[in-house]
Amino acid sequence: MKTGLILGFFDGVHAGHRAVIESAFEYSDNVILVTFKESPAVYFGQKAEYIMSRQKSLEKIKSLGVHKIVQLDFSKIANMTAEQYLEYLIINYSPVSISTGFNHTFGFGKAGTPDFLYKNQNRYNYKYICVGPIVENNQTISSTLIRNLLVNGNIDQANKLLESKFTIMGNVISGKQIGRKIGFPTANIEYPANTVRIPYGVYKSVVHYDNRELKAITNWGMKPTLNNTLKPVLETHIFNFSGDLYGKQIEIAIEKRIRGEIKFDSLDELKAQITKDVQLCLE
């Protein structure tokens, strides 16, 4: 069986990532993607903020037809030279092809460049496929670009590049019941520590729960009108929903930012604004 290897981390599995993955099927009938359990940035003491959970990214990769995903522990290969790592791949997988993006590197000092893989084709008898940049509106699609869009609240643009929606997943926890008192009960979850932080504000959203897609409105922030929280809260009001979600896992798909966080002078003003926000979400 001819094995095609794909190398990369693939956070978010955007259009550029998909082009790399799809390239492997041209030369092989057994496609294996080699990645890492967590971002190499963690090994170097940096904070990793993912566009989507690793579970979600891996599911997206599998949906593209990849036969097997290998998740390596980066700490165990971090000190390998580019030559050692390539030999490791050859010995373990005997690939007929290796696919990477144009900016992929590996090995100590990032010496494993596309040029390195190209020069070693004949020595190890594989075909190297280097996939060039995918450009949208004169910008190269990359995980960095998408993270920047999310951080700046350009959710709809980020979703377009992902060809899916930015999601936040967690178990519903108890809140202070203020939303219920003003007619907008909410399901609250902890914002995952390793997920890209979107700016505080109000968002049009969809909640995935129990194999259903439920239209909703999500607020993320410090709730300045109430002035009763010491840490930001992620709360979602699901339209026309009744039921007990406490302890249940939900996935919130963020579609669009409606507005930034505002401090109102009273609960009545807050309620009036939420009513307007809800209408925008229902349009």
Of 119, 93, 108, 101, the C-alpha closest to 5 is: 93
Look at 177 and 98; give whichever has higher pLDDT.
98
pLDDT value, residue 182: 67
pLDDT value, residue 129: 98
Assess contact for 60 and 130: CB atoms under 8 A.
no
* 3-class secondary structure, 128: strand
Q: Which residues, 6+ apart, have CB-to-CB distance to 114 below 8 Å?
A: 100, 102, 104, 128, 130
Ordered domains of the chain (ranges, CATH): 3-140 (3.40.50.620), 165-282 (2.40.30.30)
Q: What is the mean pLDDT of residues 141-149?
A: 96
Neighbour tally for 28: CB within 10 Å: 20
pLDDT value, residue 242: 84
Neighbour tally for 54: CB within 10 Å: 19
The CA distance from 34 to 13, in Å, is 14
Reported as a single tens digit per residue, the pLDDT across 98-137 is 999 999 999 999 999 999 999 999 999 999 999 999 998 8
Assess contact for 136 and 15: CB atoms under 8 A.
yes
Residue 224 confidence (pLDDT) above 90: no
Assess contact for 225 and 184: CB atoms under 8 A.
no
Specify the amino acid at residue 94: S
Output DSSP code: residue 110: G
Residue 250 confidence (pLDDT) above 80: yes
Reported as a single tens digit per residue, the pLDDT across 35-80 is 999 999 899 998 899 999 999 999 999 999 999 999 999 999 999 9
The predicted model scores a pTM of 0.90
Q: What are phi and psi of 59, to 5 degrees?
A: -65, -40
* pLDDT bracket for residue 283 (50, 70, 90): confident
Q: What is the mean pLDDT of the chain?
A: 93
The CA distance from 141 to 134, in Å, is 6
Q: What is the mean pLDDT of residues 264-275?
A: 88
